[in-house]
Structure 1
Amino acid sequence: MRCLELTIPPLPQLLTIGHSFWPPGQQHFVRSFNVYDMLFVMQGTLYITEDDVQYEIKEGSILVLEPNLTHVGHRPCEETTEIYWIHFVHPAPVRNIDNGQIPWSVPSAKGTDHDVAPHRQVMYIPKFTSVHNLDVVPFLQRMLELHHSLSPKSSLPLQTQLAGLFVELQTALRTQYVPRSRLLCDQAIAYLQQHLTSPFDAKHMEQSLHFHFDYIARCLKKHTGMSPLQYMHDLQIRTAKALLENTDLSVSEIGLRVGIENANYFIRLFRKHTGKTPGQYRSARIGMA
């Protein structure tokens, strides 16, 4: 399934929401504008072409039309068609990506008290998919109610409902439409994060995740390019970098914090991953501050 990757913050902002029943023979007009148009079809079928790509949005489906692309109805409705539509504004997608390739569990940069701007994060929404198993209607109905009586009192709740809708869609992407190998990869990443300070134990990992270690390793390698031990080392080094940048802990103390008791081994591993010793890395970061 193709998904749109959007940079956040800020979150997408709602412009308008509507709900209507299109009679047989009605057809979408030609339009290209700088907003997203999210279409939910509850019954019937809507026929839309976006930049020469034709879609049949059947009952229980959603299509997200992207900004500045031309869309038009290439065929009229053949039966009464119930639709909700949402227009929202946001910068163009960073990319289109298959849901099986989304790095759900790859850690993002965390804010510190030294930051003066938010770190880049992303969100994902499906381009075209079924919503039969999703609980989207309560969000749509509540948004309609708030939009019809829009005031300063209801503005924030309205935008919050849109965010909730996006959470529902993204959760479905992560849990319903992801290949088993991706789910196991995410479980392996979560395990490694939880056991960061413990000695690497393939047998314990196998017992905890209830899969053979070789299969776990293949799934992790497929989606991250790293073996479990390599991924654990990568986590340790990233954590060590943050501690070097934001604390006055000694190198040996930081090694212990990331689960490496031997200070010399920690220094060698850090230099292998970064090209610098921990002390050199800290000095360089302080010099940049």
Structure 2
Amino acid sequence: MSVETYLTMEAPPMPYVLECGRAEYEPGDQHPSRSGLAVFDLLVVEEGALYIGEEDRQWEIGPGHLLLLLPGRYHYPVKPCVERTVFYWVHFDTAGRYAEFRGGDVRVRGPRRGDEPGWHAWFAPRTLRLPKSGPLRFPEEAFRLLQQLSDASARGRFVSLWSDQQRFIELIQLLEDGGWTGSGANVWKVAERIEAYVKLHYTSDITNQSLSEALHFHPNYLLRCMKAAFGCTPLHFLHRYRIEQAKLLLVNTDLRVADIAERVGFPNAPYFTNRFKREVGETPLQFRRRFHEREEMERS
């Protein structure tokens, strides 16, 4: 039984395309071996089959299937093509953070802007979820966009910069839709229901039991869904979201720390201060002071 693997990417910033091409291999040809590629490499097979490995994993990619190779990983041919093979390749990158999940566990986390646990749960207003490999859900539309991207790359990147980015985002949207199948889709949807509930009720006294009663799932199932989708527990997400809201009040109002703690749902000011310092690395007052000092420097 295959283990579901997918990638999450924070957005914004949105991933952006660098170049795209169409390649044809004859029997005996094979994909090059390399380990220094610093960008994502999306492979989509139109005809035949590619046999590709990444580190300790190997795939056979048939017609209408994709494989998303990660930056900085060792990629190599498992064996040469046995028939004429036609495929598209797309090199793209993202300034945001990303993570690869295999069977619900984080296996690779992108070296972008830190490595704090659960970053993708609150630092981005949206999290893209892309399949690592598998069939295209909308192959005709995907191949149309790939052909357009390939043709534009052959003519010159600067001429079609904006249209290429638009086509690429459409392609990413198709790939993301294609990942919503099977039990993994249910896990992600339940996690998003938890996220929405927390953001709506974060000022209230939320517990695992109250979440369970509100969403009609067992607490352990809610825990598994959040760990698989966001890499954190529901209550950890709640605390971090409360702190993000507290940051906004600290920099945009003159409210006392005790009043802010009450507004965002913490039971008292000392507990809020301890949680804030644990998550942010400084107390609420230090955070407010540093922000206003930076503002004064920018004005002068």
TM-based fold match above 0.5: yes
> Where does residue 267 of structure 1 map in the other structure?
269
Whether contact under 8 Å (1:5, 1:96) holds in the other structure is yes
Alpha-carbon distance between aligned partners in 2 of 1:2 and 1:156, rounded to the nearest angstrom: 31
1:165 to 171, 174, 181: 171
Residues 167, 3 of structure 1: alpha-carbon distance in 2 compared, 3 angstrom cutoff: same
The answer on 1:150 being equivalent to 2:153 is no
Whether contact under 8 Å (2:277, 2:284) holds in the other structure is no
Of all paired residues, the percent bearing the same amino acid is 25
Alpha-carbon distance between aligned partners in 1 of 2:130 and 2:226, rounded to the nearest angstrom: 25
Could you tell me how far 1:57 is from its partner in structure 2? 1.0
Residues 88, 283 of structure 1: alpha-carbon distance in 2 compared, 3 angstrom cutoff: closer
Alpha-carbon distance between aligned partners in 1 of 2:91 and 2:75, rounded to the nearest angstrom: 14
Whether contact under 8 Å (2:6, 2:130) holds in the other structure is yes
Alpha-carbon distance between aligned partners in 1 of 2:56 and 2:232, rounded to the nearest angstrom: 36
List aligned pairs for 1:131-280, cutoff 5 A: 131-132=136-137, 135-150=141-156, 152-173=158-179, 178=184, 180-198=186-204, 200=206, 209=215, 211-212=216-217, 214=219, 217-219=222-224, 222-223=227-228, 226=233, 231-251=237-257, 253-255=259-261, 257-258=263-264, 265-274=267-276
Alpha-carbon distance between aligned partners in 1 of 2:191 and 2:94, rounded to the nearest angstrom: 31
Whether contact under 8 Å (2:47, 2:84) holds in the other structure is yes
Could you tell me how far 1:41 is from its partner in structure 2? 1.1
- Cα distance per residue 1:66-102 (max 9 Å; x no partner): 45555454433333433112234568x8654326347
- Cα distance per residue 1:3-61 (max 9 Å; x no partner): 456687765553432235544x1412534253543211123222234457542112222
Could you tell me how far 1:193 is from its partner in structure 2? 0.9
The answer on 1:108 being equivalent to 2:123 is yes
Q: 5+ residue gaps in structure 2? A: 107-117, 294-300
Residues 256, 48 of structure 1: alpha-carbon distance in 2 compared, 3 angstrom cutoff: closer
> Where does residue 98 of structure 1 map in the other structure?
102
- Structure label with greater radius of gyration: 1
Whether contact under 8 Å (1:48, 1:55) holds in the other structure is yes
After superposition, the CA RMSD in angstroms is 4.2
Alpha-carbon distance between aligned partners in 1 of 2:148 and 2:14, rounded to the nearest angstrom: 19
Residues 88, 106 of structure 1: alpha-carbon distance in 2 compared, 3 angstrom cutoff: closer
Find the residue that maps to 1:160 and give its secondary structure.
helix
| TM-score, normalization by structure 1 | 0.68
Count of residue pairs the alignment pairs up: 269
2:5 to 2, 9, 22: 2
Whether contact under 8 Å (2:190, 2:222) holds in the other structure is no
1:19 to 17, 22, 28: 22
List aligned pairs for 1:10-159, cutoff 5 A: 12-23=15-26, 25-28=27-30, 30-32=32-34, 33-34=36-37, 35-50=39-54, 53-67=57-71, 71-88=75-92, 96-98=100-102, 100-101=104-105, 106-108=121-123, 125-132=130-137, 135-150=141-156, 152-159=158-165
Alpha-carbon distance between aligned partners in 2 of 1:201 and 1:286, rounded to the nearest angstrom: 29
